[in-house]
């Protein structure tokens, strides 16, 4: 037993040395690539960065410690093998330290090229010209000096380890072997998790500063490489041929169905088949704000009443303004629907998010921000959470936005009157502060502005501000359609009500300002996650995916339009509609339709193979299903074309 404690102490000491070396490496990394003009303005943020980085490094130590922990427990139960276990622990630790050091050094070199930590782009290097890459490394870096320094470093790391494991620590402990094993495993688990909160550290790494460089420095290359390997594996497994999956012999057949043309003009390329020109009805300039509200599904609004006032402050705006209700969400989760909105394509079934694929740093120049930039708009993406979520910060920085802003930017941009923690919930800032930031941004900006925003409330664990209260009385009919406890449903719907009250409050303030005359606002949802606690008797496939698309149009513009708000659609149709309201004679590429165009084909798509056409819903078993309806044919063709479009632009950008 004493020998096992002795071995455990040696392991902790050796791990501690390597943990210190990782912190020193982060300091060298930070100083070498320094991108901050005035460090004095960010001292507190830098301190928080190093603390967060230390915690993240500690999770790496936790993973490294797994095998030594098992060996120590083994030695505790079988004392006669303690000597061999000690040798094995040292060999394992040193070997893993070498691997970790190589990864960190590689991350250093990778960052010098791409200004990002190791990501999926790393796997594209071996597809490059290997000889040319080696020549470049030889010319641009003192390779021999680096190898000499690295060899000395490894030698010293080895000698430190030998010295530590040769020492004798006096231990006099008595503890039940099963308790000892449990404590060691529990400790190892906690270190790997890195957090006592809802989420393990590293799953959603928080931002600590409004400066992007400081946020990036809290990461380490080992964790980002592990994530890249997962993404690469998924990307490889999900490498699907959507043309073949949809049953087409080639992409030309898909275009023929999409355009409803029997003989496509072979003198024109396929891209021209999905290229359109805007038909703006006036010469006015308008700001554009598109807000995606977390889990803003339509079905629960069926129960709206004075006693169950779930719409709250939003109700009067829904009653007065334009609301499309025959809409389905492109995705079943936030990232898929968001991608459909900001890239303006249908969500491909089983596809992996572009932000976490080999296309993560490709600029898709047909997407909305690029088009608005061409007509002198200032473009912003504003997310109420951390931009590290799903790597959207990196991806959207390549999609034409002048600014990509997260929760730390929102917080720092507000007049703060409360304790800091009252602005935040588990996923980001409370929605009311996101909307206040958007409102102030519009008031202060003198140029035409296009904003896309994503909220974070109405999401597990369904936190709301301390000062928000809502009394929702559940009708008997609603209770009969719940599949969860009333207590849990009340928690979810109170969070939902808070999200809509926050949005309604924003619209109240907006309509009392000068912005109401020159700004278009669109509000939609990412999905209807309430389907998880509700059952739907009528048209369940449509109802489970049903979300709204709300439009506020300045009165002078509204008078010039004749709109049928009953047409079906999905997120792919939002920007084609906005292009025709705001951009003068601009060519745009789109698979979606202008919702205001009575001559367009209006069909809603959901990536779960659900198609919404007028007043009927189709659920396909697979993309190979027969075209029993024109809407199904259009869906199959649109998915094939969307994939072709991603690869057409994506491969050019790689």
Q: How confident is the model over 16-36, as a mean pLDDT? A: 92
pLDDT in tens, 263-291: 555 556 889 889 999 999 999 999 999 99
**Cβ pair 291, 522 in contact under 8 A:** yes
Predicted pLDDT at 237 = 61
| pLDDT in the model for residue 486 | 94
Which strands form 546-552's sheet, in the order they lie side by side?
Answer: 322-328, 546-552, 519-525, 287-293, 449-454, 378-383, 403-405
Token pair 């923690």: residue: 421
Q: Which residue has the higher pLDDT, 426 or 510?
A: 510
- Token pair 């990232």 is found at 335
Arithmetic mean of pLDDT, 350-373: 92
Answer yes or no: are the C-beta atoms of 552 and 521 closer than 8 Å: yes
Report the pLDDT value the prediction gives residue 42, as an integer from 0 to 100: 92
Among 503, 439, 83, CA closest to 293: 503
How high is the pLDDT of residue 304? 97
The pLDDT of residue 35: 80
Nearest CA to 591 among 367, 293, 380? 367
CA 315, distance to chain mean position in Å, is 30
Q: pLDDT digits over 622-645, tens only? A: 999 998 899 999 999 999 999 999
Tokens of 319: 């009653």
Task: Please list, in sequence order, all residues whose beta carbon lies within 8 angstroms of the beta carbon of residue 511, skipping any fewer than 6 positions away.
Answer: 552
Q: Which residues contact 47 (CB under 8 A, 6 or more apart)?
A: none
Q: Kindly state the average pLDDT of the residues 38-65.
A: 93
Most confident of 51-55, 167-171, 195-199: 51-55
Q: What is the residue whose two structure tokens read 């993240």?
A: 56
pLDDT tens digits, one per residue of 181-228: 788 888 888 888 887 776 777 667 788 888 878 988 999 999 989 888
pLDDT of residue 451 exceeding 90, the answer is yes
Helix (H, G, I), strand (E, B) or coil at 48: helix
> 120-129, 135-144, 627-636: which has the highest mean pLDDT?
627-636
**pLDDT band, very low/low/confident/very high, at 119 (cuts 50, 70, 90):** confident
pLDDT exceeds 70 at position 261: no
The yes-or-no verdict on residue 516 having pLDDT over 60 is: yes
Phi and psi at residue 453, in whole multiples of 5°? -130, 150
Q: How confident is the model at residue 238 (pLDDT cuts 50, 70, 90)?
A: low
Per-residue model confidence (pLDDT) at position 499: 97
pLDDT of residue 140: 67
Render pLDDT for 56-71 as a digit per residue (tens, 0 to 9): 999 999 999 999 989 8
- Cβ neighbours of 562 (radius 10 Å): 6
User: Is 399 within 8 Å of 650 (Cβ atoms)?
Assistant: no
Q: Mean pLDDT lowest for which of 287-291, 303-307, 648-652?
A: 648-652
User: pLDDT tens digit string along 240-258?
Assistant: 789 999 999 999 999 988 8
The confidence score (pLDDT) of residue 265 equals 56
Per-position DSSP letters for 402-428, written without gaps between them: SEEE-HHHHHHTS---S-GGGGB-SSS
DSSP label at residue 569:
B
Under the banding of pLDDT at 50, 70 and 90, the label for residue 78 is: confident
What one-character DSSP code corresponds to residue 205? P
Token digits of residue 605: 């798509």
Q: What is the pLDDT of residue 449?
A: 98
Question: What Cα–Cα distance (Å) separates residue 499 from each residue in 294, 310, 470?
Answer: 8, 10, 12
Q: Residue 370's pLDDT band (boundaries 50, 70, 90)? A: very high
Angle between helices 486-511 and 431-444 (to 10 degrees): 10
- Predicted confidence at residue 264, as pLDDT, reads 52
Angle subtended by helix axes 221-237 and 82-114, to nearest 10:
80
Report in angstroms the alpha-carbon separations of 161 from 15, 24, 60, 87.
10, 18, 18, 11
Q: Supply the pLDDT for residue 631.
A: 95
Q: What is the rounded CA–CA span in Å between residue 557 and residue 444?
A: 23
pLDDT the model gives residue 513: 97
Residues 6+ apart with CB under 8 A from 443: 513, 515
Residue 232: what pLDDT?
Answer: 73
Question: What pLDDT, on a 0 to 100 scale, did the predictor assign at position 123?
Answer: 76
**3 state DSSP class of 398:** coil
- pLDDT interval class at 560 (50, 70, 90): very high
**HSE on the CB side for 610, CA within 13 Å?**
23
Strand-pair partners of 546: 328
More confident residue, 6 or 612: 612
CA nearest 646: which of 395, 392, 393, 362? 362
Confidence of residue 131 (pLDDT cuts 50, 70, 90): low
Rounded distance, CA 301 to CA 292, Å?
Answer: 17
| Mode of pairing for the β-strands spanning 546-552 and 275-277 | unpaired
Question: What is the C-alpha to C-alpha distance for residues 247 and 637, in angstroms, rounded to an integer?
Answer: 10
Q: Is the pLDDT of residue 262 over 80?
A: no
Least confident range of 83-92, 165-174, 286-295, 572-581? 165-174
Which region among 68-82, 318-332, 374-388 has the lowest average model confidence (pLDDT)?
68-82
Ranking 123-137, 537-551, 618-632 by mean pLDDT, the lowest is: 123-137
Share of the chain above pLDDT 90, in %: 68
Going by pLDDT thresholds of 50, 70 and 90, the confidence category of residue 174 is low
- The answer to which of 53-62, 261-270, 469-478, 521-530 has the lowest mean pLDDT is 261-270
Longest dimension (CA), the chain: 89
pLDDT of residue 266: 52
Kindly report, residue by residue over 321-338, the tens digit of the pLDDT: 999 999 999 999 899 999
Strand ranges inside 320-386, DSSP E: 322-328, 378-383
Where does the pLDDT of residue 125 fall: very low under 50, low under 70, confident under 90, or very high at 90 and above? Answer: low
How far, in Å, CA of 454 to CA of 283, rounded?
A: 29
Given a cut of 80, is residue 150 above it in pLDDT?
A: yes
pLDDT score of 23? 95
Between CA 495 and CA 334 the distance in angstroms is: 17
Cβ pair 8, 65 in contact under 8 A: no
Question: What kind of fold does domain 277-653 have according to CATH?
Answer: Alkaline Phosphatase, subunit A (3.40.720)
Predicted local confidence at residue 269, as pLDDT: 80
CB-CB neighbours of 609 under 10 Å: 20
Per-residue pLDDT at 207: 84
pLDDT of 122:
81
Closest CA to 340 of 59, 55, 29, 574: 574
Domain residue extents for the chain: 2-235, 277-653
Cβ partners under 8 Å of residue 194, min gap 6? 55, 56, 58, 59, 62, 200, 201, 202
Q: How many Cβ atoms are within 10 Å of 125's Cβ, its own excluded?
A: 11
Q: For the chain, give the mean pLDDT.
A: 90
């Amino acid at each position: 037993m004493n020998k096992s404690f002795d071995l455990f102490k040696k392991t902790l000491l050796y791990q501690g040395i390597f943990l210190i070396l990782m912190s020193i490496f982060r300091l060298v990394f930070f100083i070498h690539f320094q991108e901050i003009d005035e460090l004095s303005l960010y001292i507190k943020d830098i301190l928080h960065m190093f603390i967060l980085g230390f915690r993240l490094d500690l999770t790496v130590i936790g993973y490294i410690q797994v095998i030594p922990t098992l060996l120590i427990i083994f030695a505790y139960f079988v004392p006669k093998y303690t000597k061999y276990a000690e040798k094995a622990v040292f060999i394992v630790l040193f070997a893993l330290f070498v691997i970790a050091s190589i990864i960190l050094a590689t991350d250093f070199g990778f960052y010098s090229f791409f200004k990002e930590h190791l990501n999926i782009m790393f796997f594209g290097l071996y597809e490059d010209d290997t000889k040319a890459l080696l020549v470049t490394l030889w010319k641009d870096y003192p390779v021999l000096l680096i190898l000499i320094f690295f060899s000395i470093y490894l030698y010293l790391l080895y000698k430190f380890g030998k010295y530590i494991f040769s020492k004798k620590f006096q231990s006099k402990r008595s503890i039940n072997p099963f308790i000892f094993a449990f404590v060691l495993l529990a400790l190892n688990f906690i270190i790997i998790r890195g957090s006592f909160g809802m989420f393990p550290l590293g799953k959603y790494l928080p931002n600590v500063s409004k400066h992007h460089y400081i946020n990036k420095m809290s990461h380490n290359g080992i964790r980002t490489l592990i994530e890249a390997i997962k993404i690469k594996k998924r990307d490889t497994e999900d490498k699907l041929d959507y043309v073949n999956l949809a049953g087409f012999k080639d992409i030309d057949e898909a275009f023929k169905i999409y355009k409803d043309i029997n003989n496509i003009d072979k003198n024109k390329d396929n891209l021209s088949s999905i290229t359109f020109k805007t038909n703006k009805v006036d010469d006015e300039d308008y700001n554009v704000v598109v807000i995606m509200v977390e889990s803003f599904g339509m079905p629960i609004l069926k129960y709206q009443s004075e006693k169950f006032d779930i719409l709250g402050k939003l109700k009067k705006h829904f009653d007065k303004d334009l609301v499309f209700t025959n809409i389905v969400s492109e995705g079943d989760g936030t990232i898929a629907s968001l991608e459909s909105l900001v890239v303006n394509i249908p969500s491909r079934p089983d596809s992996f998010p572009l932000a976490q694929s080999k296309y993560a740093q490709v600029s898709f120049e047909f997407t909305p921000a690029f088009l608005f930039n061409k007509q002198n708009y200032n473009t912003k993406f504003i997310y109420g959470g951390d931009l590290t979520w799903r790597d959207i910060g990196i991806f959207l920085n390549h999609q034409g936005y002048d600014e990509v802003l997260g929760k730390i930017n929102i917080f720092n941009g507000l007049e703060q009157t409360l304790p800091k923690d009252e602005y935040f919930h588990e996923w980001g800032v409370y929605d009311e502060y996101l909307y206040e930031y958007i409102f102030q941004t519009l008031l202060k900006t003198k140029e035409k502005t296009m904003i896309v925003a994503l909220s974070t409330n109405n999401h597990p664990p369904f936190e709301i501000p301390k000062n928000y209260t809502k009394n929702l009385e559940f009708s008997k009919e609603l209770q009969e359609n719940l599949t969860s406890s009333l207590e849990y449903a009340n928690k979810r719907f109170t969070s939902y009500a808070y999200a809509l009250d926050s949005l309604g409050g924003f619209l109240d303030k907006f309509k009392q300002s000068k912005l109401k005359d020159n700004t278009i606002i669109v509000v939609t949802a990412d999905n209807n996650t309430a389907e998880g606690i509700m059952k739907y008797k009528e048209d369940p496939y449509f109802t489970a995916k049903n979300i709204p698309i709300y439009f506020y149009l300045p009165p002078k513009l509204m008078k010039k339009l004749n709109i049928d708000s009953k047409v079906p659609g999905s997120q792919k149709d939002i920007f084609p509609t906005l292009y025709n309201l705001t951009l003068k004679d601009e060519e745009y590429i789109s698979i979606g339709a202008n919702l205001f165009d009575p001559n367009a084909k209006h069909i809603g798509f959901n990536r779960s193979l659900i198609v919404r056409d007028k007043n009927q819903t189709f659920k396909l078993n697979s993309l190979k299903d027969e075209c029993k309806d024109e809407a199904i044919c259009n869906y199959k063709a649109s998915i094939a074309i969307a994939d072709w479009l991603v690869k057409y632009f994506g491969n050019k950008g790689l």
